[in-house]
């Protein structure tokens, strides 16, 4: 099972992940993606869902029109692990 990242490892990883920050009040990272319209937002979610399923690592997310709010945490570990950083990186690549 993946281990929770140390504060230092987490800080370093977030430094390389545009737009991702610590979520207040829980052990998780988050980003709000804003797209051109609903079609772009839902296309992102569709592509991200396929990657997440392949990684067996799934986001918490909420879509309102052209925004997608994503929260990543490794439930099995009770906090942020390298798996969250990997999915965050993949989501950034998908969003372009």
- For residues 60 and 91, the answer to whether their CB atoms sit within 8 Å is no
Residue 54 binding ligand H2B, by CB under 6 A: no
State the residue for tokens 């990543």.
72
Q: What is the dihedral of CA 60, 84, 80, 40, to 10 degrees?
A: -40
Question: Smallest distance, Å, CB 74 to ligand H2B?
Answer: 5
Question: Smallest distance, Å, CB 70 to ligand H2B?
Answer: 11
Question: Smallest distance, Å, CB 42 to ligand H2B?
Answer: 21
Interface segment toward ligand H2B; rule CB under 6 A; list 5-13, 17-25, 29-37, 73-81? 73-81
Whole-number Å distance between alpha carbons of 50 and 83: 15
| Bridge partners of residue 72, in order along the sequence | 29
Residue 58 binding ligand H2B, by CB under 6 A: yes
Question: Smallest distance, Å, CB 57 to ligand H2B?
Answer: 5
Whole-number Å distance between alpha carbons of 48 and 27: 22
Q: Which residue is nearest to ligand H2B (CB)?
A: 76
Which residues here bind ligand H2B, judged by CB under 6 A? 56-58, 74-76
């Amino acid at each position: 099972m993946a281990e929770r990242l140390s504060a230092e490892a987490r800080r370093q990883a977030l430094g390389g992940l545009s737009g991702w920050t610590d979520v207040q009040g829980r052990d998780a990272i988050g980003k709000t993606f804003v797209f051109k319209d609903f079609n772009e937002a839902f296309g992102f979610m569709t592509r991200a869902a396929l990657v997440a399923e392949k990684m067996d690592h799934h986001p918490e997310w909420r879509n309102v029109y052209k925004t997608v709010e994503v929260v990543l945490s490794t439930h099995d570990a009770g906090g942020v692990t390298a798996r969250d950083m990997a999915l965050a990186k993949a989501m950034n690549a998908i969003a372009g």
